[in-house]
Structure 1
Amino acid sequence: MQRLIIALMSGLIFGAGLVISEMVNPIKVQNFLDPFGNWDASLAFVMGGAVAVTLFTSRFIMKRKTPIFADRFYMAAKTSIDGRLVLGASLFGIGWGLSGYCPGPGIINALINPAEAIVFLPALIIGGWVGQRYSA
């Protein structure tokens, strides 16, 4: 039960950060991804903050034998770049650029503005299913 409460609190904090940074606003995201048009560089500070926190904390976290709230660390087994990774990243990026949503903000925006997310959520579910089915 403790893990579920911590997962819920972590998700709420993450979601609040997405709302505060306006990552749930697809126009803001699309403007960030359009450096030759109506570019909005403000999300670079959001990403920079996330990268800085990760760089600072990851070396201390990875010195532990196990995470605080899990039995083990879950690390990627593959570390090489292959065609499947490039294809998946490209499809993710194209979908993100076209819709202005990545999964976290898209789900949050479905709660804030369900009419706008009515196409995104089924596409997310179908994409996840296709990826899982063909990634083995």
Structure 2
Amino acid sequence: QSGELPSERWNPTQNVRTILLSVISLLNEPNTFSPANVDASVMYRKWKESKGKDREYTDIIRKQVLGTKLDAERDGVKVPTTLAEYCVKTKAPASDEGSDLFYDDYYEDDEMEEEAESCYGDEDDSGNEES
């Protein structure tokens, strides 16, 4: 048992969008009463109560952000820094691009149904307990 509430456990209905929204929500309003890092929680609460005057929390965060930017540059990853860079425009797929996918799935289902039907085609046993 992990000790997590059912609402905190991973759910297979989660997708990239819902996971990212959860991360954004955590960053906007962290749960400081159930922290993974107690020291960070204490610093965050002190920073929030001081209305930003206590600089310890922001200084550490700033150092960590700069450190990860350097790591990313070393790894050849460009970290977006503006809203325009974050919001990459994608080209909509052509209307017929995914049309074959339906038929592939459809035929695959037909094959599975045929296999299932062949399992029930046994005429040796009528189910009436007669031989």
Bin for the TM-score computed over the shorter chain: 0.3 to 0.5
Task: Give the TM-score, by structure 2 length.
Answer: 0.32
Length-normalised TM-score, structure 1:
0.31
Please state which structure has a larger fraction of its residues in helix. 1
